[in-house]
Amino acid sequence: MGGDCILCGKCLEVCPLLAATGREELGPRAKADLCALLAGDDSLLRGEDAARLAGLCLGCGRCRKVCSQGVDVPGLVAALRGAHPDFRGWLWKTWLTHARELWAAGSTAARLIPGRWRPEKLGPLLKMLAGLKGGPGLDPFLTPTTFPDTHRGSKVLFFAGCTATHVQRRWLAAALELLDGLGVEVLPGDFGCCGGGLKAAGFAAEAGDMAARNFEVWRAAGRPGVVTLCASCLSGLAAAGEMLSGDEADAWAGALTPLSTLVRSVSFRLSDDAPERVGYHRPCHADAGDSDFLLLREALGERLVAATDKECCGFGGVMRLARPGLGDQVNGRCWERLGVAATVLTGCSACAAQLTATAPDGVRVGHWLEAVG
């Protein structure tokens, strides 16, 4: 995946796992080296070792973004997860035995797994996890006052994502209300999961099925814009575009739109009891311009007092199951940066779940849509 590593070290500067642990053997360059060594001969690694290695990556993609050679470390790790015959069994076994300890992240993850992919025997556990409550959420403090006509009359599909569809229905309601205020017509379309989490976990074929279904929904609607509220969903949908070719691939890439880019044109009034200090967690999968941050900076002004930059929330998908201790170290660095704010906003479902589960006492976390109402 990509070219050969030239040992420039750029990826070492951005890897949150390396930053939190100081262990270069956990960094992207070491993983790229190891995967190159193993290329074409999976038998070099025993199942247990493959599982261990496959668990040592947050899948944040920060190293891929800065690599001039196109080395795709999270892609290599995902391929290792998918290629090794023992990995799938290990993953479910680990989930079964450790999900209780990780209930906060696990409860969200349980909801994110589409029903048809759930192994039968895990049904009761996943049901229990899915029923657990998250944090208290936020009381709205940003009221829309003026909607410009810029987008009035346009037609889009809305990709809500698994979390907003099945768990955080208030995000969905707030998003649809904003689109309605903007005069944007939401076309009917039954999207599935973006497939990003499945692909990162090594379930490439299943992720491909999800993507194919989503492309069909988009084509049937006449290839309109696709608006989404979650940074990771947007990233997963963009990555799925690799399955398309030519003009259609360009059209898909151009159609994907973060909700916040539309909402930036809305004027907001701050309520009297709005928090004085608000933090912003930048998801690893934020779009290139980080439109959620730009929206919040305009809406909140000087109340936005802290924003993560290099810090990852530590959710890490598979790594959360494989090496929760490492994820905790990464998460700790994130809270060091955000700790000055009593309210923290973000624009990613997984980050919101992880930060809600790990927030210090007195700190409330939510998707930025929870602040709107």
Cβ atoms of 234 and 258 closer than 8 Å: yes
61 binds ligand SF4 (CB under 6 A): yes
From edge to edge, which strands make up the β-sheet containing 225-228? 185-187, 155-159, 225-228, 256-258
7 binds ligand SF4 (CB under 6 A): yes
Amino acid making up residue 232: S
- Exactly one of 58, 167, 211, 304 binds ligand SF4 (CB under 6 A); that residue is 58
Cβ atoms of 99 and 107 closer than 8 Å: no
69 binds ligand SF4 (CB under 6 A): yes
- Helix 204-220 crosses helix 246-255 at what angle (to 10 degrees)? 80
- Exactly one of 20, 51, 67, 259 binds ligand SF4 (CB under 6 A); that residue is 67
Of the candidate spans 55-63, 101-109, 225-233, 287-295, the one that interacts with ligand SF4 by CB under 6 A turns out to be: 55-63
73 binds ligand SF4 (CB under 6 A): yes
Which residues 13-32 are close enough to bind ligand SF4 by CB under 6 A? Answer: 14-17, 28-29, 31-32
329 binds ligand SF4 (CB under 6 A): no
275: DSSP letter: -
- Exactly one of 38, 54, 60, 295 binds ligand SF4 (CB under 6 A); that residue is 60
Alpha helices in 167-230 (DSSP H): 169-181, 196-200, 204-220
Q: Which helix (H) or strand (E) holds 223?
A: none
C-alpha to C-alpha distances, 281 to 116, 121, 321, nearest whole angstrom:
32, 36, 22
Cβ atoms of 347 and 327 closer than 8 Å: no
178 binds ligand SF4 (CB under 6 A): no
Specify the pairing of strand 142-146 against strand 343-346.
unpaired
Of the candidate spans 7-15, 158-166, 182-190, 361-369, the one that interacts with ligand SF4 by CB under 6 A turns out to be: 7-15
Question: In the bound complex, what is the minimum distance in angstroms from residue 162's beta carbon to ligand SF4?
Answer: 22
- Exactly one of 35, 54, 62, 174 binds ligand SF4 (CB under 6 A); that residue is 62
Of the candidate spans 11-19, 200-208, 253-261, 287-295, the one that interacts with ligand SF4 by CB under 6 A turns out to be: 11-19
Cβ atoms of 223 and 251 closer than 8 Å: yes
Q: Tokens representing 166?
A: 């099945």
66 vs 244, which CB is nearer to ligand SF4?
Answer: 66
- Exactly one of 45, 72, 74, 178 binds ligand SF4 (CB under 6 A); that residue is 74
Of the candidate spans 51-59, 152-160, 197-205, 351-359, the one that interacts with ligand SF4 by CB under 6 A turns out to be: 51-59
Amino acid making up residue 275: P
236 vs 366, which CB is nearer to ligand SF4?
Answer: 236
Region for residue 323 given its phi and psi (left: phi exceeds 0; alpha: psi -120 to 50; beta: otherwise)? beta
Of the candidate spans 63-71, 95-103, 199-207, 340-348, the one that interacts with ligand SF4 by CB under 6 A turns out to be: 63-71
C-alpha to C-alpha distances, 345 to 16, 122, 165, 232, 312, nearest whole angstrom:
20, 33, 20, 15, 14
200 binds ligand SF4 (CB under 6 A): no
Residues forming contacts to ligand SF4 in the complex (CB under 6 A) are 5-11, 14-17, 28-29, 31-32, 57-63, 66-67, 69, 71, 73-74
